[in-house]
Amino acid sequence: MVHYEPSNVLLMTGRAAVIKRLLTIVERVDNAGDRSVVTVPLSWASAAEVVKLVTELNKDTSKSALPGSMVANVVADERTNAVLVSGEPNSRQRIIAMIKQLDRQQAVQGNTKVIYLKYAKAADLVEVLTGISSSLQSDKQSAGQWPRSTKILLSKPTARPTP
């Protein structure tokens, strides 16, 4: 196989079966390609984080023998929290499926909440809430268990007023 650069030509000689295989590869690679861009909006994940993960996962694909036109490109659009995907249709669909798998609501969100107080003082409220939360936890731990001790109060009977 030889190339002639001034006319951008490949010259191939060899067995017919090998030439046919090479021609199918050349036809697949030598096209304008469908390089349209697809926008994938994200509901739960951060676009920048998804692009980092997808790029990391596709390092092996981009280093393989695939030509540049066969590999999908991903870019984060942080304004709209979307991922832009361009490339060959099969690669694009594979990347879009991967992005949709990553864009899921997490079962457990963080348990930190910031509450801006209007009237109460934060320092006073911390003491009250700490006491309440510790008593709630101790109630929860003892729930379903038999009482360890029972108090019995005895008192003398009192006289009832007669009608």
Task: Give which of 71, 49, 73, 51 is closest to 61, Cα–Cα.
Answer: 71
Angle between helices 89-102 and 47-57 (to 10 degrees): 130
64 versus 120: which is more confidently predicted?
120
pLDDT grade, residue 33 (50/70/90)?
low
- Measured distance CA(125)–CA(117) in Å, rounded: 10
- CB 107, CB 66: distance < 8 Å: no
39-52 per-position pLDDT tens digit = 999 998 999 999 99
- Measured distance CA(90)–CA(69) in Å, rounded: 11
pLDDT at 27: 79
71-86 per-position pLDDT tens digit = 789 999 999 999 999 8
Beta carbons within 8 Å of 14's beta carbon, 6+ residues apart: 1
pTM: 0.49
Ordered strands of the 73-77 beta sheet: 37-41, 82-86, 73-77
On the question of pLDDT at 150 being above 80, the answer is no
Q: Domains, the chain, ranges and CATH?
A: 1-30 (no CATH), 34-104 (3.30.1370.120)
